[in-house]
Structure 1
């Protein structure tokens, strides 16, 4: 007995999405057509709250859009210093160099227990994110131009002044900048409150051609004290956000 189309669609909408793709679409031609239909995945996006930032940029493939929303994650490696300096390229490692220490002041994210800390001369570190390697192909990036959200947490010591700097670039295939976020340095005076601060930025409507993201941050103390009295950094994040935050 054949199952009505609308009943099959409702069943598929309530199954795990991986099961629909890997199992259901292999059963017969009818099931494959339903599993591959744009309407099924568009409806799934609607039901799960994945709404477009810009309704004029309609996905060419709603199934791809759905799974890109599902796989949203932090693309930076080792952002909370749990694995020392692994994943980071040290651009400047001056003074007494970079160090990893336990947080001095509790972080708003309770899972954060460590931070990177700078010294008495400039310390900068970087990561280069290859979007294709992370699963974001050129066609998806160029057509939809999903929002790219940057965030970083930084904190001074209470007993020492310091400087913080962040610089993020969206790069083309030749690793030339298309868009840049590079605000002015932030300075803290000695005897500050020592609290954690967050900086965020969202790249939008950046045009076609983005293939890499270069994330750079760092700083130093401004008293030139030996040891690790400079800016503290942790829980940095770069996310591809195809859908609106809810």
Structure 2
């Protein structure tokens, strides 16, 4: 009877021994760098950099960020890596490496204009109101590739709007900007509502550190006439021979209607862009 009861009881399974956590501080610096290169860049800055002095030194140095860049096997990454290696940012003892901002912001190939379609109202733009001022409305005609189908709308007197892009703040550094191997592509969409014509102007300027104009592009297209089927047009330009010293891009456009009607019947603007690319070899 005792033997039968013994056979009926559940067998006790010994509890597993707790696994010992990997102590990364014991790793050689070269191996630790490889491990950290798999961590998302923002996590490296916000968390890993706070662990200890040795981790902070790795995160602030160039070697870790170069290792991260080598993992970008896309066409843009393959074109960019040799350029980055040949134009490494200056190392200053009192300043963190520019490469870390570059890897976090990834400024090559993305739109550096903030709030390009008015999805955040007028935020990020310096505005000058004319007539009844700027408003944001839904597009009456779809604009391809726009992050939002909304637009900025002008009134019966000239309305101006401007945004200045700080290229270094976005993650680019002087040696790269002055390399001669990048180009700056600008684009803007403008249009009218069907029952009112409009006028539009665009001015893009490349500025140095002191805000001196080094290059410029302006567009003064013919007005769109009334009864236009809610047309949208695109203006584009490529600054392909960037002069030494460019540090900012000033993007300014303005518009008004041709009927001089109260309200918001003027030029409609959306999907503005400033994009830095590596020049085709």
Same fold (TM > 0.5): yes
Q: Is the 8 A contact 1:107 1:196 kept in 2?
A: yes
1:170 matches 2:197: no
1:98 matches 2:138: no
Residues 219 and 173 of structure 1: is their aligned pair in 2 closer, same or farther, counting only changes over 3 Å?
A: same
1:151 matches 2:187: yes
- Say how many residue pairs are matched: 239
1:212 matches 2:239: no
Residues 240 and 125 of structure 1: is their aligned pair in 2 closer, same or farther, counting only changes over 3 Å?
A: same
Partner of 1:133: 169
User: Partners of 1:115 and 1:199 in 2: how far apart?
Assistant: 16
| 1:141 CA displacement | 0.9
What do residues 137-168 of structure 1 show as CA deviations (whole Å, max 9, x unaligned)?
22221124521111111111111111111100
Which structure has the higher relative contact order (CA within 8 Å, separation 6+)?
A: 1
CA RMSD of aligned residues (A): 4.1
TM-score by length of 1: 0.75
Q: Is the 8 A contact 1:59 1:144 kept in 2?
A: no
Segments of 5+ residues of structure 2 without an aligned counterpart are: 1-30, 49-57, 90-97
Q: Is the 8 A contact 2:107 2:170 kept in 1?
A: no
Residues 167 and 110 of structure 1: is their aligned pair in 2 closer, same or farther, counting only changes over 3 Å?
A: closer
User: Partners of 1:235 and 1:109 in 2: how far apart?
Assistant: 8
Partner of 2:8: none
Partner of 1:124: 160
Partner of 1:196: 232
In structure 1, the residue corresponding to 2:243 is in which secondary structure?
Answer: coil
What do residues 196-223 of structure 1 show as CA deviations (whole Å, max 9, x unaligned)?
2221111111221001111001111111
Q: Is the 8 A contact 1:68 1:242 kept in 2?
A: no
Residues 122 and 194 of structure 1: is their aligned pair in 2 closer, same or farther, counting only changes over 3 Å?
A: same
1:87 matches 2:124: yes
Which shows bigger deviation, 66-75 or 136-145? 66-75
1:50 matches 2:86: no
1:77 matches 2:104: no
User: Partners of 2:146 and 2:160 in 1: how far apart?
Assistant: 25
| 1:20 CA displacement | 11
Q: Is the 8 A contact 1:120 1:229 kept in 2?
A: yes
1:241 matches 2:267: no
